[in-house]
């Protein structure tokens, strides 16, 4: 049995974004119960040289919409990075999930050899479609989602592996 690029992207991103949304919802509730300003969580980071929670969530969303658009050969929509609250971040996740949900298999499947060029740290980088998704898009998506989870867990939000993975 084979797995298509669409199967390896759209449903994977949607499920994980749903999980991230649920994690942020728990974090928002935790902040209320513990009487902690949500800005404390939103600006928290694991290390001084790492992005804070807000940026981790923004980048997670970017690594869901970007691969889908690029594999389909269309321009990636630009989202303003202006989220200031848990509600704003959840709205961004909802917007990203709606966007990712617009892609059908015919747009993404068969694009394994599509030329994809992106700029990383000011340098152009070229990929073929499948390696771009498997070796760049998905790992970056999961890295930033993991960092968002870890920041919240480190700050006492009662979440666990089941929240990250979601329920089967």
Sign, Cα dihedral of 65, 70, 73, 74? positive
In this predicted model, what pLDDT tens digit does every residue of 98-133 receive, in sequence order?
Answer: 999 999 999 999 999 999 999 999 999 999 999 999
**Domain 10-165 maps to which CATH number in 3.40.50.300, 1.20.120.450, 3.40.190.10, 1.10.1740.10?**
1.20.120.450
Give the CA distances from residue 93 to residues 2, 12, 47, 121, 140, in Å, rounded to whole numbers and listed in that order: 29, 14, 24, 25, 16
How do the domains of the chain map onto residue ranges?
A: 10-165
**What does pLDDT average to over the chain?**
97
119 phi and psi angles, rounded to 5 deg: -110, 125
Sites in the chain below the pLDDT cut of 70: 168
């Amino acid at each position: 049995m084979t797995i298509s690029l669409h199967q390896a992207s759209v449903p994977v991103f949607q499920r994980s974004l749903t999980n991230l949304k649920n994690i942020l919802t728990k974090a928002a509730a935790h902040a209320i119960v513990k009487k902690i300003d949500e800005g404390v969580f939103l600006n928290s980071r694991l290390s001084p040289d790492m992005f804070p929670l807000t940026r981790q969530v923004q980048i997670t969303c970017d690594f869901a919409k970007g691969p889908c658009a690029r594999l389909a050969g269309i321009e990636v929509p630009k989202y303003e990075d202006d989220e200031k609250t848990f509600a704003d971040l959840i709205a961004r996740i909802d917007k990203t999930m709606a966007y990712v949900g617009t892609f059908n298999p015919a747009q993404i499947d068969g694009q394994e050899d599509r030329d994809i060029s992106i700029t990383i740290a000011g340098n152009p980088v070229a990929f073929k479609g499948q390696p771009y998704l498997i070796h760049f898009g998905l790992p970056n998506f999961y890295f930033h989602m993991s960092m968002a989870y870890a920041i919240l867990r480190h700050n006492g939000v009662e979440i666990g592996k089941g929240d990250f993975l979601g329920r089967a």
